[in-house]
Amino acid sequence: MQNFDLFSATVDKAHQKLLSGQYDMTVQLYLESIQYFEKFKRSLPADQIIEYQQIDDAIREELKYAKDIAAVFKNSNILKTPQKHSTFDSDSEVYDQEPQVRKTPVVRQSQDRVSRHNDIVATPSKWNRNAPQPRDYRPKELSKPSQQASRNITKQPSYEKPWQRNTPAKSSKDDRQAKTDDGLPKNYEGVDIQYVPTIHALMLKETHTSYEDIAGLDDAKKVLTEAIVMPIKMPTFFTGKRKPWKGVLMFGPPGTGKTQIAKAIATEAGCTFFAPTSSTIMNKMVGDSEKVVKALFSIARFHAPSIVFIDEIDALLSSGSGSENDVSKRIRQEFLTQMEGVTSGPFDINTHVVVLGATNHPEKLDEALRRRLEKRVYIPMPEEKTRLQLLQIFTKGENIAPAVDFEAISKRLDGYNGSDISSICSDALMEPLRRLQAKYSFQELASKQDQLQGEMQIMPEDFENAIQKTKPAVAPGDIQKYMEFKRDFAVI
């Protein structure tokens, strides 16, 4: 329940900032609270999410009104900070007193917004200490709601605030839609229902990979955090002309961890992760593939903030040429159109989608695609320090003999990528079992598994044998093309 507690505490802070007139900070806190609540919902079984939907709807409604109030203040001369009181002790009746507030000037284009503001600031008696708080709305037990409760879920808002009183309940976009067994909507506005299962199959709410699972690549992590994670975690900073990047490209030799770092970014940002492939898009709906692409981005915006990760982007969106067939051309054009529209208009975290591509062949990407993938980050072969970290990660928790010198081994593995090193470690870990196979029959091994665990120690010669059997996947000459692309187009 940690995320729920963080959510409740953040909402409390948002209420305090709202009462003190710090409306920009109020909006930021509401955005943070929604992120905590989304993480909390992801930890729930699908049949329990509906119990929390009223809170979700109410917080998003409060965020909307907080944005409206902030917009009114930004474009008017309304007094921004109510009169401060000298004491706020536990016995004070300060919340029931009428502060001195200057009359608000008339703003013609925002009459309804000003009236909402007056309802909040000029009559704080409505914000008495008995007002419901987020913690009061935690269900007493996480059980499947009754059918009657499910039918009545949207009749009355349970998270009532002054501007919501005496108003009919509004159902969210989730409430209005039928759900799948996974708790996902069965249909989306503007998306043909036949494509929904295909897109759902590409979606991950949790990638279970973090930066700690990735050795090295500190420069790449820094740039990718700035380009992708910061706009999602700190959306208030990205206003006006400071906008997030519409697309990011990771390029480099194969087996260097591009896919893993993409999943780690999704974890760090706490967002939804989509991983379309050329086979999914082209083979599922031949002749109609561009509609699948359009559905992908529509559903990604619904579940925003989202990352659309396209591995081997050169295979799906290679540069236009006469050899392209009609399906490839339509898919490519639809992707370019959707990517161009990702950042059209002001930045909105609730619809934010960033495209993250990865390729081993950056030279195949044409100028139109490079222009949309504005940040281009080189993911290099692992250096000695990174190779040492990889050896330690791939053998963590195993019975390694003290004589094994990982530093010496890492020096020998110059020219091996991360995938090669993983294969070497996997093969070395099998060597003790091969020794036991030479000593015992299959039946004896099966019956003495527990007793023989002490003989499963990995020795220096095990790594030596594994290295002899594993050749580098990347030829030294191949590195040159990446260095040339980095020189001409990359950020780092």
Asked if the structure places residue 326 within a domain, the reply is yes
Asked if the structure places residue 485 within a domain, the reply is no
In this structure, the number of other CB atoms found within 10 A of the CB of residue 337 comes to 13
> In Å, how far are 198, 224, 291, 396 from 280, measured between CA atoms?
8, 26, 13, 35
**Dihedral over alpha carbons 427, 433, 435, 439 (to 10 degrees):** -160
Pair 263, 249 in one domain: yes
Pair 251, 203 in one domain: yes
Pair 372, 394 in one domain: no
Asked if the structure places residue 172 within a domain, the reply is no
Q: What single DSSP character describes residue 356?
A: E
pLDDT at 163: 35
CATH of the domain at 218: 3.40.50.300
SS3 labels along 27-78: HHHHHHHHHHHHHHHHCCCHHHHHHHHHHHHHHHHHHHHHHHHHHHHHCCCC
Model-level pTM? 0.59
Pair 411, 267 in one domain: no
- CA dist., res. 235 & res. 253, Å (int): 33
Asked if the structure places residue 478 within a domain, the reply is no
Asked if the structure places residue 185 within a domain, the reply is no
Residue 283 token pair: 């083979």
Asked if the structure places residue 233 within a domain, the reply is yes
Phi, psi of 68, rounded to the nearest 5 degrees: -60, -45
The number of domains in the chain is: 3
- CA dist., res. 418 & res. 416, Å (int): 7
Cα dihedral across residues 377, 485, 343, 67: positive or negative:
positive
Pair 373, 404 in one domain: no
pLDDT at 74: 66
Asked if residue 331 lies in contact with residue 293, where contact means CB atoms within 8 angstroms, the answer is: yes
pLDDT at 414: 93
Look up the domain containing 398 and give its range. Answer: 384-473
CA angle, residues 67, 101, 123, in degrees to nearest 5: 70
pLDDT at 356: 92
pLDDT at 120: 39
> In Å, how far are 55, 243, 244, 339 from 230, measured between CA atoms?
26, 11, 9, 20
Pair 224, 347 in one domain: yes
The three-state secondary structure class of 134 is helix
What length is written for the chain? 492
Burial class of 481 by CB neighbour count within 10 A (0 to 12, 13 to 18, 19+): middle
Pair 270, 282 in one domain: yes
- CA dist., res. 86 & res. 425, Å (int): 66
Pair 398, 347 in one domain: no
- CA dist., res. 377 & res. 247, Å (int): 11
Q: Per residue in 134-155, pLDDT tens?
A: 444 444 444 444 444 444 434 4
The three-state secondary structure class of 41 is helix
Q: Per residue in 346-356, pLDDT tens?
A: 677 888 888 99
Pair 326, 411 in one domain: no
Of 381, 396, 419, the one marking the end of a domain is 381
Of 147, 164, 181, the one marking the end of a domain is 164
- CA dist., res. 229 & res. 138, Å (int): 30
- CA dist., res. 125 & res. 58, Å (int): 21
The CA-based diameter of the chain, rounded to the nearest angstrom, is 92
Residue 50 token pair: 């509906």
pLDDT at 47: 62
Closest CA to 292 of 278, 312, 306: 278
Pair 250, 394 in one domain: no
Q: Who contacts 74 (Cβ-Cβ below 8 Å, separation ≥6)?
A: none
Of 322, 351, 381, the one marking the end of a domain is 381
Instruction: Give the helix ranges, DSSP H, for 373-478.
Output: 384-394, 406-412, 418-439, 442-447, 460-469
Low-confidence ranges of the chain (pLDDT < 70): 1, 46-47, 73-187, 283-287, 319-326, 341-346, 491-492
Q: What single DSSP character describes residue 229?
A: I
Asked if the structure places residue 248 within a domain, the reply is yes
pLDDT at 21: 76
> In Å, how far are 228, 230, 382 from 221, measured between CA atoms?
10, 12, 14
Pair 159, 247 in one domain: no
Which residues does residue 357 pair with via DSSP β-bridges, in sequence order? 249, 310
Pair 70, 106 in one domain: yes
Asked if residue 269 lies in contact with residue 432, where contact means CB atoms within 8 angstroms, the answer is: no
How many Cα atoms sit within 13 Å of 63 on the Cβ side?
Answer: 20
Asked if the structure places residue 181 within a domain, the reply is no
Phi, psi of 358, rounded to the nearest 5 degrees: -135, 140
pLDDT at 153: 39
In this structure, the number of other CB atoms found within 10 A of the CB of residue 79 comes to 16
